[in-house]
Structure 1
Amino acid sequence: MPSDLLFILYFKATVGKCIAPKPGMFGMVGKYKWNAWNDLGNMSQDKAQKQYIQLIDSLAGTEPQSSTHSQSRADNKYQTLLVTNTLGVFSITLNRPAKKNALNIQETYTFMYEELIAALKEASEDKSVVIATLTGAGDYFCSGNYLSNFMNIDPKNIEVMPVKAGYLLERFVSAFIDFPKPLIALINGPAVGGSVTVLGLFDAVYASDRATFRTPFSQLGLTPECCSLYVFLRLMRPAKANEMLLFNKKISAAEAFNRNLVTSVTPDDVFAKETRAKIDAISKLPRESMCYSKVLIRNAEKATLHSVNKEECRVLIGCWQSQEFMNAIMSFFSSKTAKL
């Protein structure tokens, strides 16, 4: 399957019939692309759009829909999360291991973002909850945004979807800013994108030594999110924060600890056991004093965090609507196509 097919279908779906002048005889690459676009002939834009989406789905994979999976989702209040409340510990597990727990915002699927917002709201309102934890099922903590979120959309709605996504992201981050109880992240494996930047809003971050942290915003034509433009600069020296937020540097759990992003690092073979012991000990501390202290600590900078969140989302909406972002995403999927 040629890697240029993605581009050709995109142009056919958004522009329609090939109207560009044919390149000269020495522009071999441009001539090849022009011929491929022109060869689609009278294919309708709707058909091109469907084929474009099918290609994206084939590259990104489809969500498993076995009878067991469907039954478990029907029986669970949450469809993309596993949520338990035991002895004051409200545990949230991102439960899309086949997709490396990527954050899903497709309208045909229950939003993982919305479910995380709902789970945090439930934990904050339940008086039996002392602390909340967040981890991932399988080998990954979270691989960030499911990139086909931004590709499987009607090109006619290309201006609308980013605005909706920006509003959703602002609400999502606000749920972490406003959470009134201790919140702990258990990083069981690699973390990417927003699942890294949001860690600055947790009260403690415990990581397995096999965890890694990467924020490839610049590579995708995007800007940082989840208040990281403020929090990362506070946690790390500016040069260290810039390595991650501007230059896409991937760091180990040990490096994350040295940069104050992670509270402690534990060998992977005892990670579950040791973090469970830590959580159990914390859950036995006086509930009200911990909550009062959390609120006092957060109130000192809450207004700043909300202001940063709003501005980050405003800038991201512009990025999502830009040609640079679309080119970066298409380049990403084209590189995957070239490997098939």
Structure 2
Amino acid sequence: MEHRQLGRSGLQVPVLSLGTGTFGTSGDFFGKWGDTDVGQAIRLVDICLESGLNLFDTANVYSQGGSEEVLGQAIKGRRDKVLISTKATFQMGDGVNTVGSSRFHLIEACEASLKRLGTDHIDLYFMHGFDALTPVDETLRALDDLITAGKIRYIGCSNFSGWHVMKSLATSEKHGLARYVIYQGYYSLIGRDYEWELMPLGLDQGVGLMVWSPLGWGRLTGKIRRGQASKEGRIASGGAQGGPKVDDDYLYGVVDALDSVAAETGKTVAQVALNWLLQRPGVSNIVIGARNEEQLRQNLGAVGWNLTKQQVATLDAASARDRAYPYWHQLDFANRNPLPV
């Protein structure tokens, strides 16, 4: 398993991590992703560790703590062999202070996650979304204090706008506080908006990318093709609700290109889609998901080989979209404002 540096930090992480949104048995939104119990989770963790994948990603809101609890049981007795990332900010409970990135909420949320995970520290702690009602320095000071206390090791942010990230980094620099070293964001062959603002920012500021939903909310698994409805998986179960809308013709065009490259490489559509991401600038890690052992083993097959430059170009062309302003305008000034390639 290849390892890469986690942004501008000294931590090395595997290029793939296992997302545990399927862990737990809640019947809410996350329950539609899967209902992996402790026994199944232990088996998935076993397979991951055998392959060299030792980073596991969760969040406190996944099944309202259920995912963290199942993950904690699955890694019991082998905490020293794994890295854990989890998240806070979103609503956890009914109180007015059980949401957001205030000092009050973050300290309580962190302690609760530690208890559910059965550990004394979290390796990577994400702010799951930007809280505009809490001063940025309050959030970062609370996180810095948690680092000093040994409760967390590194911090990251997720789903922030570019200016949210930059304001946070500037605040960290101004006050000498811990800085976000990683951004967890949506990026796929059918969702390339990340490239417009966040990718150049990350490359400039040393903030790596940890990709979530790399298969476009289940649309790039190979189960969806032109004239063929999905009969199983995340889309069919309603797990894509709330995800980005994708024009059918555009989707099928990308899948056609994936099919072509998959035939050339002898790999699956999903493996090709994941490998394309691994060759994008600034990507530190891709969060893969799996409802079962078969899906996990297939996704693990995305590493250990590389697409050719021509195959990458084929996928780039099929997935290209018109940019919003000012990004389309900046394309005409690329000699002075170079874009990531």
Relative to total residues, which structure has the larger helix share, 1 or 2?
1
The answer to whether TM tops 0.5 is no
What's the TM-score bracket when you normalise by the shorter of the two chains?
under 0.3
Tell me the TM-score normalized by structure 2. 0.27
Tell me the TM-score normalized by structure 1. 0.27
Q: Which has the larger radius of gyration?
A: 1
